[in-house]
Amino acid sequence: MIKVPLDVPLARPTLGSAGSTGTWRILKPVIHYDKCTRCRLCYFYCVENTIDLEKNLYPRVDYEYCKGCGVCAQVCPTAAIEMVREVK
Which residues here bind ligand SF4, judged by CB under 6 A?
29, 31, 36-42, 46-48, 50-51, 59, 61, 66-72, 76, 78, 80-81
- Cβ closest to ligand SF4, residue 8 vs residue 39: 39
Burial class of 42 by CB neighbour count within 10 A (0 to 12, 13 to 18, 19+): buried
Minimum separation from the CB atom of position 37 to ligand SF4 (A): 5
**Residue 35 Cβ vs ligand SF4, minimum distance, rounded to whole Å:** 7
Paired residues of 52 in beta bridges: 60
Rg (Cα) of the chain, in Å, rounded?
A: 16
